[in-house]
């Protein structure tokens, strides 16, 4: 397993996917970060209790405030397929606030060193709950909750860092 990415390192150029108008679209991380300040949020799984009930809704509710603090785009990833991510985006009203992308094979999660084993919970390999802020692809801040914890990766925690 890869070491966890640290402040000062460049994000890997990984392909993420999204279902748009019935077609799979590719998003490459370097394109999303080129010349921009990006907030990348990792969710252990769409529709899991904390992700669905608190974590994603906090980013949807605070998206405008986060963007007024200089963030160009908020991107959320989970180790779920693009069809699940599309449905989750629609049901949480995230569209236009948080761009939800599929890391279905955990390629980005693995390269960030943020994979966790959720097999005990019947979830398989998943993404740690995290947020990172990157300027032009360089990590400037990263917070990670281990396992299924929800303590330092809320949108309110992001705002504390940005202000």
Edge to edge, the sheet with strand 37-43 lists 23-28, 15-20, 99-102, 73-78, 37-43, 129-135, 138-145
- Percent helix, percent strand, percent coil in the chain, to nearest 5: 30, 30, 35
Residue 51: active-site member? yes
Looking at the DSSP assignment, which residues form a beta bridge with residue 134? 38, 139
E-strand stretches of the chain: 15-20, 23-28, 37-43, 73-78, 99-102, 115-117, 125-127, 129-135, 138-145
> Which residue in 5, 38, 51, 144 is the catalytic one?
51
Angle value at C-alpha 68, between 65 and 69, nearest 5 degrees? 95
Q: Which residues are catalytic?
A: 51
């Amino acid at each position: 397993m890869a070491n966890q990415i640290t402040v000062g390192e460049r994000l890997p150029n990984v392909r993420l996917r999204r279902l748009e108008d019935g077609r799979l679209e590719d998003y490459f991380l370097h394109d999303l970060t080129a010349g921009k300040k990006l907030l990348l949020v990792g969710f252990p799984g769409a529709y899991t209790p904390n992700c669905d009930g608190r974590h994603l809704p906090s980013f949807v509710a605070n998206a405008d405030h986060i963007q007024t603090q200089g963030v160009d785009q908020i991107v959320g990833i989970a180790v779920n397929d693009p069809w699940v991510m599309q449905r989750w985006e629609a049901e949480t009203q995230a569209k236009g606030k948080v761009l939800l992308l599929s890391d279905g094979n955990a390629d980005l999660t693995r390269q960030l060193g943020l994979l966790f084993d959720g097999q005990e919970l019947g979830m398989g390999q998943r993404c740690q709950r995290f947020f990172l802020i990157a300027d032009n692809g360089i990590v400037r801040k990263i917070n990670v909750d281990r396992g299924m914890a929800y303590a330092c990766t809320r949108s309110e925690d992001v705002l504390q860092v940005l202000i």
